[in-house]
A and B are shown apart, each in its own frame.
Chain A
Amino acid sequence: MSETTAVMPAPAGAAASADPRPEILNVRDLKVHFPVYRGVIVQKQVATVHAVDGVSFSLRRGETLGLVGESGCGKSTTGLAILRMLEPTAGSIVFEGEDITKFDRSRMRAMRRRMQMVYQDPYGSLNPRMRVRDIIGEPLQVHGMDKDPAEYRDRIAALLAMVGLLPDMADRYPHEFSGGQRQRIGIARALALEPGLIVCDEPVSALDVSIQAQVVNVFMDLQQRMGLSYVFVAHDLAVVRHISDRIAVMYLGKIVEIASRDDLYREPLHPYTQALLAAIPVADAAVEAKRVRLVVSGEVPSALAPPSGCRFHTRCPHANERCRTEEPPLVGSGDGRAVACHLHPA
């Protein structure tokens, strides 16, 4: 496979450097490949899934980067790889100035105090046999921060209050809570060690519509108060638009477009971003009645055998010969946005 590595220019562009907040995370050319084996006794590698295939982005303190795309695009894998919960195959992940891909187990363990995760499934991610106080306190115990009992108790109560739960809920078990409350417990646990970065993997998609807003507001309030940075992985583009400062759109393991929230939604440049936004109905009958519809055909191809050239060419209404053979690099346009499309030269 030819290595037309997607290189994004270092965010030293005029507009990018206008943001005075320090950079907390810088991911360069991240790759996560999974081998596929066949055979029962003698296992032979027969293929490789290029789940994440050369992804680069950066994140500032107090900023939210939305990672969006359809199933199989690699957004969740990227989120897990940032925390090294999945081992990257290649690339660098510089977090608070240090490349954590080179860290050994003990250094990584110490570093995890600064980077945490909130999961999609508020039912599967909490141990049903543990009381809420132990679920939230476990990270503190692991890192030896539970020595003073009074301080520990206060800390748990403060964490519960931070996510809008009552201190007396600490003695209950997960099954006594609704989905939205469980997700708050998951957030409180992630906050316990006062991290700088939280990777949120579809954190509201399992919740009822009326509850999603409660949890989205919790995320946004905490960010304001604590200066947290979020990588917010989700498929719901309306939620992502609401919470993100910048958004990266992924397709089959690659970022096809990255831009500020307003730029991306006002003027999507990549045909895939355009198709994705057009596919989503707006919750207003009057708007929908007037909307110009553009429906892209086909489905996402298998990540086992991604299409040649631009991976979107099989579904793109504008694809030409070059798109079928040559992979477009992600090219920045200097104003903080970048697009990987031959039809949109910088």
Chain B
Amino acid sequence: MSSALLSVRGLTTRFRTERGTVTAVDDVSFEVNSGETVAIVGESGSGKSVTALSILRLIPDPPGKIVSGEIIFDGTDLVKLDDKGIRAIRGDRIAMIFQEPMSSLNPSITVGRQIAEPVNLHRGTPWGKALERARELLSLVRIPDAATRVSAYPHQFSGGMRQRAMIAMALACEPQLIIADEPTTALDVTVQAQILDLLQDLSRKARSALILITHDLGVVARYADRVIVMYGGRVVETAPAADLYARPSHPYTRGLMASIPRLDGDTGRRLVPIEGQPPDLSALPPGCAFAPRCRQANDQCRAERPVLREIAPKHFKACFVDV
């Protein structure tokens, strides 16, 4: 029996669209342990965000639906929970941080009240005490002058401060799992470093697990313990971070690493792009989703769908070709 905090098995999430049914997340399985930072990396349409929303059961139904699989969180299958059951977990034991802090904060309610709300809601803490906790949390996320900032409105905060407030809100009930979906994409790089350092520092101290969803391979290299690479709604490779960068194995992962310029790389090197276009989820090929763009693809790749296999300890890839 696995002791993982979160165990996602065979998760499949579909959306009905004008162009037919789209499988945004297709038979995805992975585990996350307490205290661990796991990055889910992929480009637009890879299914990384829909995976996160599925875990929190935030898929709008209709048009979306989790059609199969289970999401075992600390012994409970979240897929089977009713609305009341999932609401009791969301914001309490699992917290989410979104990309756009401005659209995730209510502009007409003070920051302090918004941070205090989950404390009041989930823990039954009276409002006075909950606001006191909000002030503590604001200073924990290093917002200067927290005592007065607690009664400020979101528009009075800068972008970086709003994202700090979101982190404070996420930490309010000491969650076991924090899911951060591109938490710093909208921020400047110097602020990005501050926010991600803070997020990792605080989640480590609280022994919370952190799922970091990003397209940035630099952010993954700096913060992740383990990496899940997604393409076309599927997991194509997963490995401990050090191992993934030392030995990227799936042709898509290798292609990504060859296509990005590096801050410390060889400047004379010509970038090797991944040819072709990102996959159209409504018209995926029958075999490997990456086959149309893969230089090594063979007939088997085009006809049959590869499953994850272990190629080194804890290093899996879904690919027929050995590189």
Contacts and interface: CB of A to CB of B under 8 A. Distances in A.
A binds B: yes
A98 B282 CA distance: 54
Given A279-B190, A281-B222, A238 B270 contact: no
Interface stretch (B48-56, B80-88, B255-263): B255-263
Contact of B277 (A178, A216, A242, A284): A178
B273 interface: yes
B18 interface: no
A180 B277 contact: yes
Interface in B10-55: 43-44
Most buried by A among B44, B190, B191, B242: B190
Contacts, number: 139
Interface magnitude class on chain B: 35 or more
Interface in A248-303: 261-262, 265, 275-289, 293, 295-297, 299-300
B159 A299 contact: yes
Given A178-B277, A239-B261, A213 B190 contact: no
Interface in A70-129: 70-71
Most buried by A among B158, B262, B273, B278: B273
Interface in A201-247: 208-214, 216-217, 220, 235, 237-239, 241-242
Contacts of B322: none
B260 A209 contact: yes
A210 B255 CA distance: 8
Given A70-B189, A276-B190, A283-B260, A210 B159 contact: no
A299 B142 CA distance: 13
Interface in B78-131: none
B190 A70 contact: yes
Nearest to B271: A213
Interface string B267-310: 10011111101100000000000000000000000000000000
B287 to A, nearest CB: 19
Given A279-B190, A299-B191, A212 B215 contact: no
A181 interface: yes
Given A213-B273, A299-B159, A282 B264 contact: yes
A300 to B, nearest CB: 7
Given A208-B278, A238-B260, A280-B218, A285 B271 contact: no
B221 A210 contact: no
B183 interface: no
Interface string B154-174: 000011110000000000000
Given A210-B255, A296-B190, A283 B245 contact: yes
B278 A211 contact: yes
B188 A299 contact: yes
Given A178-B277, A286-B245, A210 B259 contact: yes
Interface string A52-74: 00000000000000000011000
Contacts of A71: 188
A121 to B, nearest CB: 15
B217 interface: yes
B178 interface: no
Nearest to B246: A286
Contact of A238 (B262, B275, B277): B262
B81 to A, nearest CB: 34
A144 B222 CA distance: 54
A210 B218 contact: no
A295 B133 CA distance: 28
Contacts of B272: 213
B150 interface: no
B129 to A, nearest CB: 31
A340 B66 CA distance: 57
25 contacts: A70-B189, A208-B215, A209-B215, A210-B43, A210-B255, A210-B259, A210-B273, A210-B274, A213-B259, A213-B260, A217-B271, A241-B263, A261-B267, A265-B263, A278-B193, A279-B189, A279-B193, A281-B218, A281-B221, A281-B223, A283-B221, A283-B245, A283-B260, A284-B262, A299-B190
Interface of B: 43-44, 158-161, 188-194, 197, 215-224, 241-242, 244-246, 255-257, 259-265, 267, 270-275, 277-278
Interface of A: 70-71, 178, 180-181, 208-214, 216-217, 220, 235, 237-239, 241-242, 261-262, 265, 275-289, 293, 295-297, 299-300, 315
Given A220-B270, A238-B261, A283-B262, 6 more contacts: A208-B44, A213-B271, A242-B267, A276-B190, A279-B192, A281-B223
